[in-house]
Chains A and B, each alone.
Chain A
Amino acid sequence: MNQAHAPTVETASLRKRASAGAWIMALLWLAGIVAAMAGITRYAIAPGREGEIPTHWPSASRIVPDTVRPTLIMFAHPHCPCTRASVGELARLMADCHGTISAQVWFVKPAGTAEDWTNTDLWASAARIPGVTVHCDAAGGEAQRFGADTSGQTVLYNQSGDLLFHGGITIERGHFGDNPGAIAVKALVNHQLTDRIQTPVFGCSLLDEECRPDKGGTTWKP
């Protein structure tokens, strides 16, 4: 064997040291990744801020409640990617409720935004849901009246204007699938539940910070 290619004790030691270094790096990498994943997961499941939801239909609202059926109102940011899941879950909910509720989606248009601010695919998606009417909440007045801070905020009032449910109908940001909010709405509509139900809301902030009624900052983190 060529002596130049013969493994020496020194090169073997170096190789072993390099291998050990790689293993250590791998472990550190794994630890970092796990930590990051945990952090992201924790953040992902952190709900958005929810304002003071009126327990009775606010009288100042220009929204006309349905007197025959419970009225469900969802406030949405037309550009919030997470709200796509909320609209999707609304579609499922409406399908499951078979017209037993009246549903409206109000897309908030902050002040100073362009006219086509609400002209998004999300609007179109919501508009395609049978039994759902879509509206523009200019300057977010209705959202403020209903205490909605986070896109996807859903409220359900009965025919008497009493608050039955408030929160989100997704279990996480942008997550499709069964969720406590939708289940609660269906149960309430079907009179299987009588207590008021609240679930966390996952989505973008509907209003600019300065537009918030409390101006007390935000729990949302970009």
Chain B
Amino acid sequence: MRRRLVDSATRGLLFLTTLAGCSLLALILTAVVGRGFPSMSIEFLTREARDFGLDGGIFHQIAGTLILTASAGIVSFPIALGSALFQTEFLKSAGLKQALRIATYTLNGVPTILFGLTGYMFFGALLGMGVSWVTGALILAVMILPTVQISVLEAIESIPAHYRESGMALGLTPWAQIRSIVLPQSFYGIVTGVLLGLARAAGETAAIMFTATAFSGAGIPRSLARPVSTLQTHILVLAQEAVNPKAVANAWGAGLALTALVFALMLSALWARSRLRLESHR
């Protein structure tokens, strides 16, 4: 009897912690949507910011975040894929494989502000790219590289052995194997990795605030050497102006837009991953 009691009490306690955690997080979502929604409108999303973001919209900031994120993904994807293929299909030395894996996991744990600072000194100062779109994109590309790489690697490694064996039985060369077995079978895993990486890049502030963005006057960059404006840094500036109700309202509006963008990427990633699971269980 007492054991039963302990059992239900523990269950209750666990349930309460879960409920507390979940409701805290629900609270966060409510706050972001509740505060951000009143500023949302077609005009807000499609107009330029004026008067330091107090007036007008966030069109340039949305565009800046999108192009910075997309270009980081475009640079990062082939590197991650090539690296994953190298580790699974080409490399025979277990020691070297281990070294590459350690490097990837190390990179994954590096605080983003350090990517920003050393990345700026490398791309911006040493290679002379300055505070610009290309500097920010390359820094973000390196930052999301481990995320993408780990996903792609796991997807390729989880391909069942009999797929490869049947490929070999058909007399496929290694390259034909990669093209017709490895890549198609890990397709959704690769997509998952890329989307997770993009979501990470889209939400990042510290790595780009000194390296890629301008406070005002950036607009849509006309070349890779120009700075961009982004939602993240826009919110940072407006947040520090929290006495002005217009600034606060627009900061929350931009915050909601950014959260929506990141959620869209994350949801696509979760969807792609569920497809991956489905396919591998077939």
Whether chain B is bound by chain A comes out as no
Chain B residues near A (Cβ < 8 Å): none
